[in-house]
Structure 1
C-alpha cells in the first residue's frame, strides 16, 4: 500500500455569508456541508471500494492501515482536519454497488470560525507547503461553473414502480404488519429526471446547501442530496445521532394554525409509534459501545422547508473496546446500519420484504454517507433526500416512507412526493413537468 503524506495549513476565515459554498464549482465535487461549514474535497489521491456483508469492516481495515502509515502534519485539533476520507456505502449487503472511501488531493474545511486547507499526496517527492496547496486548489477552481436552466425537454419519468404499483406495495406491507410479521417497514420508490441539457451537480449542491442549511448536504461520486438525518457523529470520544421518523408535508398545512405540526405529529399515535421504533432500534445497537447515553424523553418537531419531522437527538460517551481504543465512527456505522428509520423492525424481516416489494436495488440510497479522519472522528448521515446522477442527462431520485399498521397508501404516496421535493427544486423541475408517465 502506498504511503500518503498530508499537510494541513490554517487559512483566513471564510465568508460568513456563503462559507464553503464558493468552493462548490465542480460536478465531481466531494462535499459535506451544514450551515456553510464542513468539508469540500477536490481530486483523488487514494480510493477503496468493497461490496457485500464485509464492506464496512474491509473499509475500516484499509483506512486504519492507510492512516496509520501516513505522514501527517496537522497543527489543528479540529475534527475533519488532517488526513480525511469521504465515503458512501451501499444500503444492502446484497447490492452490487461498490461502497467507497475516497481521499481527496485537496480538502478545504471550515468549523467554528476556523478554516484550513489540507493537501494529500502519494508522491514521495512532491512538495507539501501552503504554496503548493494553494496552487493545486487554484487549478481546481479555475473552472467557471455552467449554470443550468430549465429545458423544455426536461421530463419526470416513473422509476421501477409506477405510482399505482407502489401504492399496492404499501397495501401489501400493511397486510404483513397486521399479520404480525413485523411492526414497521420503510418502503422506497424512485423516479427519473430525464434532462434536456446536462445536469450541473455543483449548482444542485449550492441550491441544496442554501435552502436546507440545517441539513447535511453531501456529494460523493454522483450521489448528491441534503439529509436531515445523522446516523452517527463521533467527536473526541462522544457519539451523537439524530433520529427522524414521522413526517408532515408543509405544502398542505393550514397557514393560520401555528400549532398544526405539533398537534398532528406529536399528537399522533401512528407517528409517535413509528418514531419510538426508530429510537429503540438505534439505542439498542449503540449501547454496547457506550459507557452512558442520553436522549430526549419527548421528540421535538424539526422544521424544514418542505416538511416537519418528529426528531430526537441521542448522545453517548464511548467506552474503550477490548483493545483499549475508542471505537471509530465506521465501526459504529457498521453496528447501526440499517436502522429502523430506513429499513423497519425487525430489520432482518423488513430487509427481506423490502427486496420483494420494491423491485429495485437502492444502491447508495439510504446508506451511510459522510467522512472520517485519522483521529477517529467522523460524521455519517443517511443518504436521504437525494439522487444518483447516472449520466449528464439522467438523475434517479429516491424517497422512502415508514409504513406501520395505520398507514394509508395514498397518504404515503403524497409523503414520498414531499420528500422528493428538495431534489426536484434543486434540479429546477416542477412535479408537473412532463407529468410522471406511466403512473
Structure 2
C-alpha cells in the first residue's frame, strides 16, 4: 500500500523548520497523499489505541464522507467558555505560517481541526465531565479522510526552529505504518455485554416537565428543551470501536462521532445537522417534532401522517424554523426555506424536517454561524436566553458536550457541525446516555418521558442491549 513516503515527509518538515528559523515563528507542516487501498475507518481508529485520549471519529450520513484523527498536532482548548471567535483566530494564525502539500485542495483533506463545544459553558460543571474541557478542537497528527470513494492520509505537525527533523520524521513514519498495517481488514465488533440500566432523577424530570409546561401556558416562555440521563453499568469495559461499528451499521443516515479526552469518550449518532458551509453556501436543518417508526410500512406511513398533522409537534417545529431562519438571515444574503416540513426517518424514530439554505455574507465565517445558531430551539428552547436560564434552574443534569456543536473546520473556512444528540459518555465499565424533549404548553410529561426512551434506543442498541 502507498503511504506518505518518508523522503517526502523529511523534505517538507526540514523546509518547515528552516521557515520557522527564518520568521522566528512556529510553522504548520501538512502533507497529504491519496492511498491505493481501501481502509476500514473503525479498524484505523482501533489501530490508534496507544493514543487513547487523542482520537476522534466523524462520519457524515450515508458514510460516504469519513474522517478519523489520531494524535494531537495542535489543540484548541478552553475551560472558560466556548470561545468560537478565539478558536477561529488561533486557527487562522496557525494557517498563516504553514507549508501545505498538495496545493490543490480536497474537502476534508489536509489541515483540518475536529472537535466539540459544550452545550452551555455557563452551567456549573460536575465531575461527570471532569475529563473534558468546556471546548476542544484538535488538529490530528494523522488524519484518514474517505471522500468520493477515495482514501487520503494526511500528516500534520507544528515545527519550531529547533525541531529535530530526523527524530520527528522517524516517529511519524513509524506511527503511520503501524496505523495502516492490516487497516484494510473490516472491523468486527464483539457481541454486546449484559448491563443494568439506572434511571437518574426520573421522577424529578417528569415533575419538571409539568412545571415548565404550566409556565409556558402562563406565557412565561414559549419552549424549553429538558434533557435527562440514564446510567448504564456493566462488568465489562465498553469498547469505543465496537460501539462505533454498530452505530455505523444501525444508524447509516446519522452523523456518527466519537471524541476522546483522557480515558473518557463522548460518542453518538446524531440525525441533526447544525450547519454546513461549502464555499459561499450554508446548509442547516430544522429537526423538531417526533414520533415512533411503525412495525410495517403501512403503520409507519400512518404514524408519519399523524406527525405531519399533530398541532403540538407542528408548533414545536415552527418555533425552531422561525429562530433558525432569523439566525440565518443575520449571516446570509439570501435564505431559502420550504413552506412545510417533511419527514426525516431514522431507524427508531421519525422527525419533522425542514432544510434551510443560505448564501453566506463575505464577512461571516462557519464558526460565526455556529455561534449564531447554537443552541437552536430544538436543543435549548425559545427565546434562547430565557430558555437557557430555565434549563440551568430546573434541569438535574450537567449536559457537558451533549447537544453541543460537534464537527470540523478546514483551512479554507469550510466544514460542518452536527448537534451532539443520541449520544453518551463512555467511562470504562459505565456509560451515561442522554435524551431530551421540546416542552410546549400542551406537553404531557408521561408522553415526553416515553419519547426520551425512544431517543435513547440508538445508543442502548449500540451498547448491545435495550430497555
TM-score of the superposed pair, with normalisation by structure 1: 0.89
State the distance in 2 between where 1:184 and 1:8 align.
47
- How many angstroms apart in 2 are the aligned matches of 1:340 and 1:423? 23
Structure 1 segment 20-39 matched on structure 2, within 5 A? 20-25=41-46, 26=48, 28=52, 29-34=55-60, 35-36=62-63, 37-39=65-67
Question: Are 2:111 and 1:83 equivalent residues in the alignment?
Answer: yes
Paired position in structure 1 for 2:88: 60
Matched, 1:296 2:332: no
The aligned counterpart of 2:302 is 260
Matches of 1:106 and 1:55, distance apart in 2: 25
Structure 2 Cα separation of the partners of residues 134 and 2 of structure 1: 21
Which residue of structure 2 lines up, in the alignment, with residue 368 of structure 1?
A: 405
Pairing of 1:25-424 with structure 2 (within 5 A) = 25=46, 26=48, 28=52, 29-34=55-60, 35-36=62-63, 37-53=65-81, 55-95=83-123, 96=125, 97-123=133-159, 124-126=163-165, 135-141=174-180, 147-152=189-194, 154-159=195-200, 161-162=201-202, 164-221=203-260, 222-250=265-293, 256-321=298-363, 327-389=364-426, 391-424=427-460
Question: 1:155: Cα distance to partner?
Answer: 1.5
Q: d(CA) in 1 for partners of 2:245 and 2:76?
A: 27
Q: Which residue of 2 aligns with 1:436?
A: none
- The Cα shift of 1:14 comes to 3.6
Q: 1:110 and 1:157, CA in 2 relative to 1: closer, same or farther beyond 3 A?
A: same
CA offsets 1:152-206 (integer angstroms, 9 cap, x no match): 5x211122x12x2211111011011001011111110011111211110011111
Within-5 A mapping of 1:422-437: 422-431=458-467
Does the CA-based 8 Å contact 2:209-2:226 persist in structure 1? Answer: yes
The 4+ residue runs of structure 1 with deviation greater than 6 A are 127-134, 143-146
Corresponding residue pairs, total? 418
Separation in structure 1 between the aligned mates of residue 333 and residue 168 of structure 2, nearest angstrom: 41
Partner Cα separation in structure 2 for residue 213 and residue 137 of structure 1: 28
Which shows bigger deviation, 66-75 or 187-196?
66-75
Counterpart residue number, 1:435 = none
Post-superposition shift, 1:11?
A: 2.1
In structure 2, how many angstroms separate the alpha carbons of the residues matched to 1:50 and 1:81? 25
| Distance in structure 1 (CA, Å) of the matches to 2:326 and 2:158 | 41
CA displacement at 1:142 relative to structure 2: 5.5
Kindly state the Cα deviation for residue 358 of structure 1 after the two structures are TM-superposed. Answer: 1.1
Residues 297/126 of structure 1: CA separation in 2 closer, same or farther (3 Å cut):
farther
What secondary structure is seen at the aligned counterpart in 1 of 2:441? coil
Summarize deviations over 1:275-330 as a string: whole Å, max 9, x none: 11111111111212111111222111011101001111111111112xxxxx3211
In 2, Cα distance between the equivalents of 1:139 and 1:200?
20
Is the partner of 1:105 in helix, strand or coil? strand
| Contact 1:261/1:301 (<8 A) preserved | no
Structure 1 window deviating more from structure 2 (201-210 vs 110-119): it is: 110-119
8 A contact 2:56–2:115 mirrored in 1:
no
Shift of 1:127: 7.0
Whole-angstrom CA distance in 1 between matches of 2:37 and 2:181: 21
Residue 143 of structure 1 and its aligned partner are, at CA, apart by 9.1
- Per-residue CA deviation, residues 35-89 of structure 1 (Å, 9 max, x unaligned), is 2322111111111111344521222222121222222213443221110011110
Instruction: Please say which structure displays the higher CA radius of gyration.
Output: 2
CA deviation vs aligned residue, 1:354-401 (integer Å, no higher than 9, x gap): 112212211000000011111101110000000112x21121110011
- Which one has the bigger helix percentage? 2
Q: Matched residues in 2 for 1:368 and 1:243: separation? A: 15
Deviation at 1:430, TM superposition (A): 2.3
SS of 2:299's partner is: coil
Structure 1: where are the runs of 5+ without partners? 322-326, 432-439
Give, in whole Å, the separation in 1 of the partners of 2:300 and 2:433: 31
Q: Distance in 2 between matches of 1:60 and 1:286?
A: 19
Matched position secondary structure for 1:302: strand
2-structure distance, mates of 1:312, 1:217: 21
SS of the aligned residue for 2:30 comes to strand
Q: CA contact under 8 A between 1:244 and 1:341: conserved in structure 2?
A: yes
Deviation at 1:210? 1.6
Is the 1:295–1:313 contact (alpha carbons within 8 Å) kept by the matching residues of 2?
A: yes
Counterpart for residue 8 of structure 2: none
SS in 2 for 1:241: strand
Distance 2:167 2:30 in 1: 8
